[in-house]
């Protein structure tokens, strides 16, 4: 594997679930949370941790779709960006939401591994963002939401 592509994989893996110096990554920030904790809202109109997890899963899907040129509409949930989650005990479960995040990360990772190094600085379609920018961006997105989740957990306690 090309060194630059290896760095990209290390970057998304560290932001998602790898060992890091900066504190919890996205996966670490949700470790051990109960369904009730994940569903708690810090205020009216604010997102729960469950909703943030699905938002992160959606954007992993969106980046993968942009990298591959895949058509919209293949995300497992209807809608886009933010998905309201029901109270604990109704609808899908918190473990199902975590599995969706895991699955979307794995699918994105596999697509990144298939990118030709020469294509990293090319635009994968309309728009001005390169593949490299999209990949760096999704790593930053995971870290942003990991920090947000850490703050919500502090507010909860």
**pLDDT value, residue 88:** 59
The residue written with tokens 């920090």 in the block is 147
The residue written with tokens 């109270």 in the block is 87
**pLDDT value, residue 41:** 94
Q: How confident is the model at residue 89 (pLDDT cuts 50, 70, 90)?
A: low
**pLDDT value, residue 59:** 97
CA dist 154 and 138 (Å) reads: 25
DSSP type of residue 46: P
Q: b vs e for 33-72, b when ≥16 Cβ sit within 10 Å of the residue's Cβ?
A: bebebbbbebeeeebbbbbbbbbbbbbbbbbbbbbeeeee
Domain count, the chain: 1
Q: Is 135 exposed, middle or buried (0-12, 13-18, 19+ CB in 10 A)?
A: buried
Task: Return the CATH number at 50.
Answer: 1.20.120.450
Is pLDDT at 157 greater than 90 in this prediction? no
Q: How confident is the model at residue 87 (pLDDT cuts 50, 70, 90)?
A: low
Q: How confident is the model at residue 91 (pLDDT cuts 50, 70, 90)?
A: low
Task: Give the contacts of 85 (CB within 8 A, at least 6 positions apart).
Answer: 39, 48, 50, 51, 54, 91, 92, 97
This prediction has a pTM of 0.93
Is pLDDT at 118 greater than 80 in this prediction? yes
Answer yes or no: are the C-beta atoms of 36 and 94 closer than 8 Å: no
* Domain of 131, in residue numbers: 3-156
């Amino acid at each position: 594997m090309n060194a630059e592509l290896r760095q990209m994989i290390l970057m998304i893996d560290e932001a998602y679930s790898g060992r890091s110096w900066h504190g919890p990554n996205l996966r670490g920030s949700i470790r051990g949370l109960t369904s009730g904790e994940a569903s708690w809202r810090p205020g009216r109109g604010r997102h729960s941790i469950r909703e943030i997890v699905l938002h992160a899963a959606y954007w992993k899907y969106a980046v993968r779709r942009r990298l591959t040129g895949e058509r919209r509409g293949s995300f497992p949930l209807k809608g886009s960006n933010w998905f309201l989650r029901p109270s604990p005990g109704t609808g899908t479960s918190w473990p199902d939401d975590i599995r969706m995040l895991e699955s979307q990360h794995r699918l994105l990772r596999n697509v990144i591994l298939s990118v030709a190094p020469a294509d990293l600085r090319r635009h994968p379609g309309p728009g001005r963002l390169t593949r490299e920018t999209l990949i760096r961006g999704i790593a930053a997105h995971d870290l942003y939401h990991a920090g947000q989740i850490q703050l919500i957990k502090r507010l909860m306690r």
